Structure 1
Amino acid sequence: MRIAAFGHGLPHGLFAALGLRAEDVTLAPAPADPKIAPFLEPFMDPFAASLLHRLAGGALDGCDALIFLRESPGALPAFHYACEFERRGLLPPQAPRLHLLNLIPAATPAAEAYNRTELDRLRATLGPFGPPLPPPSPPAAPAPGPGPRHALLGAPLGNGRLHRLIARAGPLVFDQQAEDAARAAAGTTLSEALAAQAANPFAARQPADAYSPAIAREIASRRIARVVWQVDPHDDLWGWLAPDIRRIAAAAGADVLDLGTLPRWPSDADLAAVAALFPEAPR
């Protein structure tokens, strides 16, 4: 069975414990599909819009099911739009089954019970699962090179152009997007994986006041000299945290470079205006 999953911070450890290997389809850009383009507002989450274009264009026809992670920004509207497009006959006949997985990142008994009912509902949609799979291996972290140590915070990006631009000025030792993905993917059993979800301070729907303290710890422990901040032009989630980031960075003696808004798949032309802010560090 081929399963696709959409969302930032996918619980790959949880999927592996369930016997599923899910293909992450979150970051892939897609051309507009003319059948659905008139229905998508320009302020829709760009990753959600791209997924819907891929779905309507048949790019996911080889998948048996598409899981939308409710936790992720844009996933709930994307699921609702996909269901409506399916109802209107705008999706290919071979389109995958659509499933909304609503995991609550909290460790309370009520959240634990609810999350397990969500996993039961996933089983009902997909049928019997196979045996548990080995958890995904975390990527190997390259040793930091010379130059000031950087952190990249804010909204997720769909490519690595900004990352490479930062890295030429000094090592990028903390990437909020990558850290969210790594923490969300942790766990080798159902209990461990659900606990990892609950403890993730970078989860978009984390109910605890955990994000700012976690960022403060990371900036201090990783000896960050420069914090790079950016959000999507239609951001309604991360931007309000910018004052906290400035306060935390100042307390740690780190500079903040606020790039404002960037496209989610920035081109070299999009980054040309800020390229001079990242001069190449001596080697």
Structure 2
Amino acid sequence: MGEEADRSVVVYGHGFPREILWLAGYEAVDETRPDAPVTLRDGSRISALLEPFLDPYVRSFLLRLEQGAFDRNPAVIFLRESPGALHAYQYALELRRLGLLPEDGPALFIFNLLLSPDEEVSVFNAAELARLESFLREIQPRRAGSVRETLERVSLRASLLGQIAQAQSGGRLSGTAAFNTRNAAMHMPLARSIEVLNQLRGRDLRKPPAPDLRFALLGSPLAGGGLHRVVEEFGTLALDLQSGLPAPTPPKDLQQAVLQFSEASLSPRQARPNAFIEALEPLLAKHRIETVLWQVDPTDDLWGWHMPNMRDLCDRMEIGFIDLGFIQAWPDEVCLGEARRRLRGAMS
């Protein structure tokens, strides 16, 4: 990815608000979801300790850490509220303590932002932000450049993500292309991610298709785009939350970035019961969704709990609901074949 990415802070956690790090004056790349499963190398000292039920992203991260993928990065910051992030952090600490991971690897930090609009949570999150900034000052100088310039770039990135989502919803952009590009941009520093998103916006637009069935794809985070291609065999993938939540209103400063994250109703980990499902209702209506497609990873311990309420919401809105079952993070042909069979059966 280049020297700038090598110097960047690595973040781990689905939906990690990188805006916080950018506005704090640090470059950040999101390495939660690699493009492909990490290949196990001969001589791995940790592979036998990684249980079969471990989150696939946690497994891939730990193997990459062992293989030296982040040796040139100053730190890895884990988002506590993200599924699997605490496990990744705890495993990394323990494996390093046992001498199975190098001591001179990146510093490890758990960032415990809470998801709630309550005033007490705001106080707690402010303390967590101060702790993060203190940690960052110890490991790396702030990036050169003005706060104003960073704000402009963060705003431009949010605008591009919004335009891509709008083009996808209108059928002028393939959902597969949008997903793959958003995922790729996660691994890139801010300026490079803007370039890639801007290239997609201008390159892959097409004429709107004839009226077609409009799908929303919800559920566990995916790293491979195979399922998106299957869905587009049956209709328009108008809404896809697999690459993160819709672009928020750009924050005006660092504190607002933290506040926006903590109050985001579209996070499945929101403290208030049913906040996530309630926030989906206007989004499904806005994108004129006719059928929700739901899938979970075989190791899932979050999204499955939302499925009953999601079914109820679809019933109230009089839209379809198709459970695609277990879908791997990087779906193989067997997995995709089963998803295709379920789709065909539900729509026949």
**Superposition TM-score, scaled by structure 2 size:** 0.74
C-alpha separation in 1, matches of 2:318 and 2:79: 37
Q: Any gaps of 5 or more consecutive residues in structure 2?
A: 1-6, 172-208
Give the stretch that moved more between structures: 220-229 or 265-274: 265-274
- Preserved contact between residue 268 and residue 276 of structure 2 (Cα < 8 Å): no
Q: CA deviation at 1:205?
A: 2.5
Distance 1:261 1:276, change over 3 A: closer
2:121 corresponds to: 111
For structure 1, which segment, 153-162 or 217-226, has the greater mean C-alpha deviation from structure 2 after superposition? 217-226
Question: Does residue 126 of structure 1 match 2:136?
Answer: yes
Report the structure, 1 or 2, having the larger helix content: 2
Quote the Cα distance in structure 1 between the aligned partners of 2:266 and 2:46. 32
- For residues 280 and 57 of structure 2, the distance between their equivalents in structure 1, rounded to whole angstroms, comes to 25
> Secondary structure at the residue paired with 1:274?
helix
Q: 3-state SS of the aligned residue for 1:180? A: coil
Q: 1:252 corresponds to which letter in structure 2? A: M
- Match of residue 187 from structure 1: 251
User: Which range is displaced more, 258-267 or 25-34?
Assistant: 25-34
Identity across the alignment (%): 36
Aligned partner of 1:270 in structure 2 is 335
Structure 2 vs 1, CA of residues 118 and 84 (structure 1 numbering), >3 Å: closer, same or farther? Answer: same
For 1:276 and 1:104, the matched residues in 2 are separated by 40
Q: RMSD across aligned C-alpha pairs, in angstroms?
A: 2.1
* Number of residue equivalences: 278
Output the amino acid matched with 1:129: R
Q: Which of 154, 157, 160 is the aligned partner of 1:137?
A: 157
**Any conservation in 2 of the 1:106–1:197 contact (CA below 8 Å)?**
no
Q: Deviations over 1:157-208 (max 9, x none)?
A: 111111122123222122223352634x952412321221122123243112
Residue equivalent to 1:197: 261
Match of 2:320 in 1: 255
Instruction: For 2:215 and 2:132, locate their aligned partners in 1 and report how far apart those are by CA, in whole Å.
Output: 39
1:12 to 15, 18, 21: 18
Greater shift in the superposed pair: 86-95 or 10-19:
86-95
- Give distance in 2, aligned partners of 1:266 and 1:53: 20
1:242 equivalent in structure 2? 307
Q: Is the 8 A contact 2:226 2:331 kept in 1?
A: yes
The worse-fitting range, judged by mean Cα deviation, of 80-89 and 31-40 is 31-40
Instruction: Tell me which of the two structures has the higher relative contact order, counting C-alpha pairs closer than 8 angstroms and 6 or more residues apart.
Output: 1
Change (3 A) 1:111 1:3: same
Is the 8 Å Cα contact of residues 214 and 238 (structure 2) preserved in structure 1? yes
Distance in 1 (CA, whole Å) between partners of 2:83 and 2:268 is: 7
Q: For residue 249 of structure 1, report the CA deviation from its aligned partner.
A: 1.1
Amino acid across the alignment from 2:69: A
Q: Does 1:97 align with 2:161?
A: no
Which of the residues 39, 44, 54 maps onto 2:49? 39
Q: Secondary structure at the match of 1:4?
A: strand
Contact kept? 2:115, 2:269, Cα under 8 Å = yes
TM-score if structure 1 supplies the norm length? 0.90
Question: Aligned partners of 1:261, 1:71: CA distance in 2, in Å?
Answer: 23
- List, as ranges, runs of 4+ consecutive aligned residues in structure 1 with deviation greater than 6 Å: none
Match of 2:193 in 1: none
The separation in 1 between residues aligned to 2:267 and 2:233, in whole angstroms, is 29
- Alpha-carbon deviations, 1:223-242, whole Å to 9, x = none? 11111000011222111221
How many angstroms apart in 2 are the aligned matches of 1:188 and 1:12? 14
- Equivalent of residue 33 in structure 2, options 14, 27, 30: 27
Q: CA deviation at 1:277?
A: 5.3
Alignment partner of 1:83 is 2:83:
no
Hey, what's the Cα distance between the residues in 2 that align with 1:85 and 1:234? 22
